[in-house]
Homo-oligomer: A and B are copies of this chain.
Amino acid sequence: MVKTVTEIARLLHGQVVGDGATQVSGVSGIVEAKPGEITFLAAPRYRRFLKSTAASAVIVPRDTEFPQKTLIRVAHPRLAFAKVMRLFYPLHPEVPEGIHPSAVIGQKVHMGRGVSIGACTYIQERVTIGDNAIIFPGVIIGRKSQIGSGSIIYANVTIREDTIIGKNVIVHSGTVIGSDGFGYAKEGHRHLKIPQKGIVIIEDDVEIGANVTIDRGTLGATRIGRGTKIDNLVQIAHNVVIGPHSLLMAQVGISGSTEIGSGVILTGQVGVVGHIKIGDESVVGAQSGVSKSVPPRSVLFGYPARPIQKTKRIEACLSRLPDLFKRVSVLEKGLNLLKRKWNDRSSKDH
């Protein structure tokens, strides 16, 4: 596909500075870009590459001046980058329409129009697959599960029975949805397994990374809210409920029955205990351990997680802690000396 800079600027609600007739046929990083490609200024510190880049045009923040290059000035460069990427590139690799002959399809499966089912994939009985859904090779979908229209299930994903997946959901390879929750009751020394009869509901527009695990509810549902994005190797326990438009970064773990609000950001390797609630639009820093419910718009960091300003104050103190021990020793000596002098004087006075 070839687009002019003017056409791209129109899509981005941006302003062209330079030659709007310049033709662009792809997107590249500012260092790697070749003539005929458009690139973007990812951060102010890359400004020095404006001079050397071979790109034919550069997407820049509004106030950028650089007369030697054709620029598109935009209010939100990252969003503009996303849009121009979506203009030139598809969201998933090309797949053939139809059912691969090696796929195994159970009884009473209901398939919509334009569905693609890959090789060695097994769709069990009574599964429903919506229009234009793409199921890659090696996927196993358990009985009575539903995959909404336009959803993409990558290779080697496992979806257990009775799972409900909405529209335009993306699930990356190796992920397991609907596995049994970790539920036991102690009976003497033994752990007696509690049957996990609940389900998993993944709402529309959710994206789930690779090798993620999402357990089914014990009773009721584990639910991932509309538009939420989950990175690789994340663990979602039974009966967790996550609101819409949240971000869970890699290796996060959420324990059973916890509620995560909407617009929440949990950074990499965060752990959250069970049966608590993280308020809407809260942000939790990397590797933090959250053990108590927090109100909306909390900004937490640390192990244990505290309000970030508090953790930062403590961190600053920690660096100076060995020094504090010395200061206290000096004080103790100083005070003792003064006491001794005082006592000497007092005894002399009498």
Chain A residues with a Cβ under 8 A of chain B: 27-29, 32, 76, 78-79, 81-83, 85-86, 89-91, 93-94, 100, 102, 104, 118-120, 122, 136-138, 140, 142-143, 154-156, 158, 160-161, 170, 172-176, 179-180, 182-187, 189-195, 197, 205, 207, 209-213, 215, 218-220, 227, 229, 231-233, 235, 237, 244-245, 247, 249-251, 253, 255, 262-263, 268-269, 271, 273, 286-287, 289, 291, 303-304, 306, 310, 313-315, 317-322, 324-325, 327-328, 331-332, 334-335, 338-339, 341-342
Q: In the assembly, what is the distance between CA of A94 and CA of B327, in Å?
A: 66
Chain B residues near A94 (CB-CB < 8 A):
143
Chain B residues with Cβ below 8 Å from A158 are 138, 154-156, 173-174, 210
- Contact between B93 and A160, CB atoms less than 8 A apart: yes
Q: Are A325 and B320 in contact (CB under 8 A)?
A: yes
CB distance from A251 to the nearest CB of B (A): 5
Chain B residues lying within 8 Å of A235, measured Cβ to Cβ, are 231-233, 250-251, 268
Q: Whose C-beta in chain B lies nearest to the C-beta of A136?
A: B140
Q: Whose C-beta in chain B lies nearest to the C-beta of A205?
A: B190
Contact A250 B232 (CB under 8 A): no
Residues of B within 8 A of A189 (CB): 227, 244-245, 262-263
